[in-house]
Structure formats: structure tokens, C-alpha cells
Amino acid sequence: MNRLFKRSNYAKYFLLDKMWDFVLDPDKKGIDEKWYESFPEKSERIPVPSCWNMDLGKFGYEGTAWYRTDFVTEEASIYIKFEAVANECDVYIDGRHIGYHYGAFVEFGFLAENIGAGSHELVVRVNNDINNIDTTPHPNTDWYNYGGINRSVEIREIGDIWISDYRIDYKLDLEAKKAVLDITAELKTKNHLCETFEIYVNDKCVYSKNEDTDGCKKLYAKGIALESIYLWDIYEPNLYYIRIKYGNEDIIDRIGFREIKTHGKDILLNGKKILLTGVCRHEEHADWGFSMPFTLIKRDIDIIRDMNCNSIRGSHYPNSKMTLDYLDEIGMVFWEEVPCWGYRKMAMPDHNAALNNEKFVNRLLSMHHEMVKRDINHPCVILWGLYNEIATDQQNVYDMSVKMIKVIKALDTTRLITYACNQNIPAQPGDICLGLVDVISHNYYTGWYSSSENEDFAAFIGRMREYADSVGCGDKPIIMSEFGAGAVKGATSFEALRWTENYQAALIEDAIEQYYGTGEVSGTFIWQFCDVRTGKNCQLSRPRSFNNKGVVDEYRRPKFAYETVKGLYRKYNSKSDNKTKIRLF
């Protein structure tokens, strides 16, 4: 997997990022014709990773496509990992089906045992059809439904010993700057072995014990006390490398010691109140779709940091692992969510067809599981987001939320849980799910979708508080998780006209000043960082077929709002003076 640090001293990994054979299958005959056994001769070549829509001539294609490549392994067994495939896929090695996966933005993998050393053929059927019943996203979603193997593919060769899974937990004593580590490793070995199980923290061995294994075994290294630790926070993002070793197998991961919790209406990072000065960011680019290379990801984040943000909402799906690694390194916090968007009457008249569908709900639950499992060790992640703007006034959504929270808490109880609501409180019936989560987050578009004379941002916070109080949630922090206005880059005017850069900048300024002016909000996430391509069904209401609410456009050219936000967030982000400034040379 692509990370920003070395993941092992011994393990043999290689990426399959290269040109693959590729063929579209608009009639869906590949399975019947067994293309996984004999791939069509008339194929093209396409880079992996990439979104096929970015390959000239395939922009609007939605449906099935097949990919083929080969690889050589020295070991008889391998673990193949896909960092993201949109939206579902079947994987075949040498004609044998080895797994199926649904969900576009999370990683998944399959163990292929005893395939033998040597050369192998890998075929992947990918499909990105969307419907109103059991897929997510659905056809009315406000982002483009790119298809393809859009993040890296990796092969891990499995030798005599394999650490197939692991878990790192810690208990923190903030005052004393002490931590106690608990580590679990799951081993698979070919033979009976007796080797040393060791844990290293930044290259220093902190635990060592001989352990017998025979086949599968869980090993535990509990109660490892660490003194005088340096905390991770937005000012000093101190990171620790944890190396888990058994015999000649090891895994390296990286953590940061920090505590995130709420206290009444505040969010506390390491015991201190933090205001989240943020933007919502789609990990998307007009020329790359969802397959953004790290150079561009880093540039996005640097631009966001230059705007005096200390946080990003990863709207509306898990981002690349490298994004999170970079946020860990520079000390920015992250809200991560799954792509469950707009299942409510306004965006989708038949939203209950999905919400009442068990297959759909189970898909979401697996996405939550996969997201938390993948990212549990990133200190930057402070909030898990359940979904965005769905019918949180309904009992079926309440029941689904309870299940989602159960899945998250089974893996992680150390982070805060929220969701982006838009029940236009105090509309009746109001939101019935607020009591389930730690932080109340609301999207609010007054001044854009409603009359421009109605920019009552501060009044809205008052109404929110009142409503929250009335449902027993008055002591929870409030985040404004979306607000903003569309501006077509280059459109300017002396008048306050919609779609101009001036209008957007003025609205954002008014909103931020009013929100923080109430002293009641714990954070603001502007909608949005950059303009993004919208979905096919939303294009009529979105000039250029883009959601134009970015403070930079789709090529990251700043609009007026960029400087406005930079100035405002300088006031509200306590870290802004510490950060690296963009310099003029």
C-alpha cells in the first residue's frame, strides 16, 4: 500500500501500478463468456490506477469493464490488496474467482494461497452502475460517479510467517505524559515455530518474548509503559513508529499519542479547547477524477493549510491513505465519513427503497467497518462521520445509525462520532438522531438556496441550541459542517449577484463572522475547497456541470473567497501563526 513511510524491514511487497489490458463490457457478457479465463483479444491498455472516465472517449461510461495484467511471485501464496475500486469488483487469479468487493473508497484484499511461485494472470471485473435501491452513491448524487481501479493495487508475497492483522491500543495519562501500549498481532505460519515476538517503538525494543506458534495464533504484548512521551497535536505533530516483529516478519505502523473528547459544548484536543477552522474537500480533480497522485494531494493540503485551516472534512468518503499520512505529519485534523449521501425526500423521492433495504444497509455497515479498520491508527482522524444529509427524522435511519455506531465502537471508542444533518431545525418532525452522537453537525445554505435577505447564520445557531436543548442534547458541541455559495471562477460584479466571486466571498465572510460571533460553535467547514464535477442528474442546476462552491476552482485557481477565508481563519485558528507560509521567490 502506498504510505509515506517504510512499512516493513523484511516483507516483500510490490505494486501493480502500470498499464493493464482493458475492455468495456456494455452488454455485460463477460461473465457468460468467461473473460476471466480467456480475456478478449481486442483489448486496449489503460493505466492503473486511474478512472476510466479520464481516458479520452470514455468520459460518460457507466457500467462494466474488465482489466487484465500479470505478476510474478517467488512465494506460493500472496495477499492482493486494492486500495480503491469504484464501485464493485470480482477478482480472478488464473481463471479462479478469489473475491468480490463492494464500495468505492475503502481498501480490501484477498488471500490467494498456494497459487505457486511463478507467473500469474490477474483479471478484475469492475462495475460502477448506480441505482436507487442498493448502491451508494445513487443517481442523484452531487459528485461524479467515476469508475475504475482508481487507487493502487499491491501484492504481498507470503513466506513462512505472515502477520495477517494487528491492533495497537494505548491508554494515555495526559498530565504525566505517559502511555501504556497494548499490541495484538495475528500470525499465520506454515510450520511449528518458536521465535521471538518483539515490539519496537522508534527502533527501541520495548517488548520481547519467545512465543510458540503452529498455524494461526494471536500474540499479545500488553502493558508496555512509555514515559516522557511527546503528544501529537496541531502545533507539534509528534509521531511514533511502532514495529511489530516475529522471527523474520515485521510490520511498521505509525501512531501519535493524543486525546480527543468533548466537554460540554467544547471539543478538547489533549485537554484544550479547539476550534476547527476547516473546509470540506472532495478528493477529486478535473483531470484525474478520484485517482489523484500524491503530488496533487499534498498541494491541495498545503493550499488548505495556507488558508489557515487546521482541519478538513473528507467529504464524502474515505480519502487516500497518503492523505491521512500527510495530515498526521503536518498536524491537521480530519473528519472521515462513508459515501452515504442524500437519502432523503428532497434529493431522492424514493429514498426509503434504499433505507429499508437490508443489502444497502449492510453495505454501509461494511464501509464503516473497513474505514475504521483502515484508519484507526491515524492521529489526525478525530471524527467518524456516519453519513451526510439523510432522513434523520425517520425511525429507519435511527435504527440504521444505532447499527453503524455499534460497528464503529466495536473497533474504536476513542474518537468522536457525528453526521452532517440538514433537517432545517426546528422543522417538524425534527432530527431524532442527535442523541446518538457526540457532536451535532449541521449543513446550512441560507443566502444561497434561500433568499439573500435571509442570512441569519447567528440566529440559526440560536435555533439549533434551542432545538438541541429540547431533545436533551443541549450540552453537545455544534459544528457547521457545510455552508457556502457557488461562484464561477472569473465571474465578478459590483452587485451582489449569485454565481459571482464577490457574492461567494461576502457570504462566507458573513457566515464565519456570525458563527464564531455566537461563541457557540466548535468549528466551521466551508463548502467547499475546490469545484468538483457533479453527477449526471445534477448538471442542469450546476453551471459547467460542476459544483462551483469551491474557494478554488477545479484546477485550484483561487477565487476571491480564498483570501477572505485566509484572513478570517487567521483570527480563529490559534495555530495560524505557526504554520509554513507560501513564500514569494
Q: Shortest distance, CB of residue 276 to ligand ADA, whole angstroms? A: 17
Q: Other C-beta atoms within 10 Å of 105: how many? A: 26
Q: Least separation, in Å, of the C-beta of 525 and ligand ADA?
A: 10
Complex with ligand ADA: residue 185 or 421, whichever CB lies closer: 421
- Least gap, CB of 396 to ligand ADA (angstroms): 20
From CA 102, how far away is CA 361, in angstroms rounded? Answer: 12
136 near ligand ADA, judged by CB under 6 A: no
Smallest distance, ligand ADA to C-beta of residue 476, A: 21
AA letter at 459: A
| Size of residue set near ligand ADA by CB under 6 A | 8
Cell of 463: 435555533
- Nearest distance from residue 544's CB to ligand ADA, in Å? 14
User: Which residues make beta-bridge pairs with 252?
Assistant: 243
Q: Which of 88, 107, 142, 375 binds ligand ADA (CB under 6 A)?
A: 142
* Min dist. Cβ of residue 138 to ligand ADA (A): 13
Smallest separation (angstroms) from ligand ADA to the CB of 551: 13
- Any contact of residue 233 with ligand ADA (CB under 6 A)? no
Supply angle C-alpha 569, 527, 106, rounded to 5: 110
Name which of 143 and 200 has its Cβ closer to ligand ADA. 143
* Binding-site string for ligand ADA from residue 15 to residue 44, where x marks contact by CB under 6 A and - marks none: ------------------------------
Give the three-class secondary structure for 246. Answer: strand
Q: Could you say whether residue 283 binds ligand ADA (CB under 6 A)? A: no
Site for ligand ADA in 535-574 (CB under 6 A): 547, 549
Alpha-carbon distance of 543 to 297, in angstroms, equals 25
Q: By C-beta, is 123 or 354 nearer to ligand ADA?
A: 354
Angle at 336 between CA 334 and CA 340, to 5 degrees: 155
**389 lies in the site for ligand ADA, by CB under 6 A:** yes
Minimal distance, residue 142 CB to ligand ADA, in Å: 3
Residue 532: CB minimum distance to ligand ADA, A: 9
**Neighbour order of strands in the sheet with 12-15:** 12-15, 153-158, 77-82, 108-112
Nearest distance, CB of residue 484 and ligand ADA, angstroms = 7
Query: What distance separates the 2 farthest-apart alpha carbons in the chain?
Result: 78
Closest CB to ligand ADA among residues 52, 143? 143
Q: Give the separation between CA 252 and CA 243, rounded to whole angstroms.
A: 4
Looking at the Cβ atoms of 80 and 480, the one nearer to ligand ADA is 480
Please state, in angstroms and rounded to a whole number, the distance separating the CA atoms of residues 100 and 483: 38
Residue at grid coordinates 457557540: 520
Which of 142, 393 has the CB closer to ligand ADA?
Answer: 142
Q: Which residue's entry shows cell 457545510?
A: 482
Nearer to ligand ADA, 207 or 527 (CB): 527
Task: Give the number of other Cβ atoms within 10 Å of residue 428's Cβ.
Answer: 7
**How many other CB atoms sit within 10 Å of the CB of residue 266?**
13
- The C-alpha atoms of residue 140 and residue 366 are separated, in whole angstroms, by 22
Asked if 482 interacts with ligand ADA (CB under 6 A), we say yes
Full DSSP string of 476-501: S-EEEEE----B-TT---SS--TBSH
Nearest approach in angstroms of CB 485 to ligand ADA is: 9
**Residue 154 near ligand ADA by CB under 6 A:** no
374's enclosing H/E stretch is helix 358-375
**Does 388 sit near ligand ADA (CB under 6 A)?**
yes
- Does 443 sit near ligand ADA (CB under 6 A)? yes
CA dihedral over 155, 161, 164, 167, signed as positive or negative: negative
Query: Beta strands of 402-460 (E only): which ranges?
Result: 416-421, 440-443
Residues contacting residue 75 through CB under 8 Å, at least 6 positions apart: 12, 117, 157, 158, 159
Of the pair 155, 312, the CB lying nearest ligand ADA is at 312
Shortest reach from residue 397's CB to ligand ADA, in Å: 16
Please identify the residue of the shown chain whose CB is closest to the bound ligand ADA. Answer: 142
Query: Taking Cα atoms as reference points, which of 14, 8, 132 lies closest to residue 79?
Result: 14
Report the residue number, 325 or 482, with the smaller CB distance to ligand ADA.
482
| Residue 328 binds to ligand ADA (criterion: CB under 6 A) | no
User: Cβ closer to ligand ADA: 265 or 542?
Assistant: 542
202: helix, strand or coil? coil
Closest approach, Cβ 405 to ligand ADA, in A, equals: 21
Q: Based on CB atoms, which residue is closest to ligand ADA, 86 or 532?
A: 532
Tracing cell 473528519 back to the chain, one arrives at 335
What phi, psi does 398 have (nearest 5°)? Answer: -60, -50
Indicate the residue among 154 and 482 with the shorter CB distance to ligand ADA.
Answer: 482
- Work out which of 343, 527, 560, 572 binds ligand ADA, going by CB under 6 A: 527
C-alpha to C-alpha distances, 223 to 96, 114, 180, 257, 388, nearest whole angstrom:
44, 37, 6, 15, 39
Nearer to ligand ADA, 246 or 546 (CB): 546
* Site residues, ligand ADA (CB under 6 A): 142, 388-389, 443, 482, 527, 547, 549
